[in-house]
Amino acid sequence: MTPFRAIALLSAAVFGLSVAPAAAQDKTPPSQLVEKLNAYVGCINRLSERSYQSRSGYFSWAKQSGPTGKERIIYGTYTIYDTSDCQKNIEKANALEPRDAELESAASAYADAVGKLEPLLKEADDYYEQENYKDDKMARGKALHPRLVAAWDAFASADKKLRAGVEAIKDKQAAEQLAAIETKEGRKVHYHVEALMIQAKRLLRAEDADKPDIAAITQALTEYEATVKAAEDASGKDGDTKLGSFFMNNAKSYLTSAKQLMRRIRDKVPYSQGDRMMLGGGGGWMVEGSPPRLLRDYNQLIESYNRGAHI
């Protein structure tokens, strides 16, 4: 599956972030805890996708061993957004309580890796955009190749580590938040929305496994579908919040894509030649029952949640 997936932002209503001992947490304002994690999430959501796209776009035309100058089509590569804000935000977030040396180190490594990738991609983009390979017989392109690969590898490693650290905290926080909502409000719309987001992530992980387990996928699908239905049934009932149609449409689109991918895995349905071309050329999201399609719909669900489209 495409490595990038968006992460839902935290809200100031989330309490008790498990990144420090309880005594330290008690002294830390919830808004400060949220600010710290959201700085990391903001960097990931803004920069990671484009960074991975730059790599996949490059290798859609260049061999793993590097460009030769004899390629039929030379696309170059993509640049990424300015990384200076991310670096500043991470530096600021790392100084906030509660302190977590391992997570802060992962965040600094991410900022360093993506910061080094940015100018290198700009250098490569200028070279290919100006078609300078026609003047030097791809000499500079060949020299850039190992530097690009090293920078992408360093970024991917840093992204994976920071993402894992953030996700581990958010998983625990989500479970704690859901329990607190149920205790305070009962199983109303607010509860079902948060449960839906938890189940959506579990479903993605089940279908994203190195060796997908159809039983685990089926269970995750059943739980997610039940949560979508519960949210829809509760929407606007007895004066409760009415869920936004955009959010619910995204939730259902994700369910459809998850079912399509489950059936492809379960029934061992091969991709057609046209499907394989789209999967290899960056158009995989257009292929029904494919990991890129599932990932696109998951990211759209996350984006609608982050924008508050569920209320």
* Domain extents in the chain: 1-9+16-168, 186-311
CA 270 to CA 264: how far, in whole Å? 8
| pLDDT number for residue 173 | 83
| pLDDT number for residue 80 | 95
Q: Which residues contact 215 (CB under 8 A, 6 or more apart)?
A: none
| pLDDT number for residue 6 | 64
- Residue 215's Cβ-side half-sphere holds a number of Cα atoms within 13 Å equal to 0
Among 226, 293, 225, 299, residue whose Cα is nearest residue 5: 299
Among 85, 5, 6, residue whose Cα is nearest residue 39: 85
Tally: H helices and E strands in the chain: 12, 0
User: Taking phi first (over 0 means left), then psi (-120 to 50 degrees means alpha), and beta for anything else, what does residue 136 get?
Assistant: alpha
Contact 48, 111 (CB under 8 A): no
What are 63's strand-pairing partners?
A: 66
| pLDDT number for residue 18 | 29
| pLDDT number for residue 9 | 60
Q: Which residues contact 27 (CB under 8 A, 6 or more apart)?
A: 97
Residue 107's alpha-carbon distances to 9, 40, 42, 44, 163, in angstroms, are: 16, 7, 11, 10, 9
| pLDDT number for residue 20 | 32
Per-position b or e across 266-287, b if 16+ CB within 10 A of its CB: eeeeeeeeebeebbeeeebbeb
| pLDDT number for residue 32 | 79
The tens-digit pLDDT sequence of the chain (311 residues) is 445 666 666 543 332 222 333 333 344 455 777 889 999 999 998 999 899 989 988 998 999 999 999 999 999 999 999 999 999 999 999 999 889 999 999 999 999 999 999 999 999 999 999 999 999 999 999 999 999 999 999 999 999 999 989 988 888 888 998 999 999 999 999 999 999 999 999 999 999 888 899 999 999 999 999 999 999 999 999 888 899 999 999 999 999 999 999 999 999 999 998 888 888 766 888 999 999 899 899 989 988 998 876 66
Tokens of 58: 């490059």
| pLDDT number for residue 260 | 97
Helix axis angle, 214-234 to 245-267, nearest 10°: 160
| pLDDT number for residue 29 | 53
| pLDDT number for residue 161 | 95
Contact 91, 26 (CB under 8 A): no
CA 174 to CA 196: how far, in whole Å? 11
CA 205 to CA 295: how far, in whole Å? 11
